[in-house]
Amino acid sequence: MTHILFDDEHLLAIDKPLGLLSVGSDEERQRTALVVPREAPSRPGRAVALWPIHRLDRETSGVLLFARSRAVRDQLQKDWSNTVKVYVAIVEGLPDPAAGTIEQPLWEDQNLRVRVGARPGAKQARTRYQTTHRGPCRSQLEVHLDTGRKHQIRAHLAWLGHPIVGDDRYGTSDVRLCLHAQRLVVRHPTHGQDLCIEAPPPPVLPRAL
């Protein structure tokens, strides 16, 4: 069952589990993060209309936010660059220095793989990271996503030489992709105050250290 983290008249946030699409695709339309909250609304007997504000990769768990109207969705997406987006990642190796900023453009090749480097059509991307725990040969990072490009964290950390554990696209496979959207801070669409929504990382992540 999908855990609801926040629910009011304007917004709904869930802790998206591993393996669930944020929205439907041509191949899968039934079991998505958009459909599941509609099937189990917090207000029985009332129709549930939801609009996705952002997306998470299928392999990424954590905070996923929906709007209850198009107007709220448009308002938050317009201000999305000011949203605080914090992730937890378990990576291979021990980054040195332990904290830093990756500012490298990203582009997508014909096989839908995101590449790092400057070229016509590449989009600027900025990722900040800080090591919070070290294991014998892996590290836990707190990652701040300053831009929202496809596979940004995964591609940037692999470019750094520290791919995310379990990333079979940019690194090597493991029990799961060890990337979790832990915290989202948005400006509430009505009262304008910051709304902080958090989802604790699943136990498998720290165990992967």
Is 36 in contact with 3 (CB distance < 8 Å)? no
Q: Which amino acid is at 117?
A: G
Q: Phi, psi (5° rounding) for residue 71?
A: -60, -45
Choosing from 8, 15, 26, 57, which is the catalytic residue? 57
Residue 57: active-site member:
yes
Is 201 in contact with 87 (CB distance < 8 Å)? no
Is 37 in contact with 44 (CB distance < 8 Å)? no
H-helix or E-strand containing 15?
A: strand 11-16
Which residues are annotated as catalytic? 57
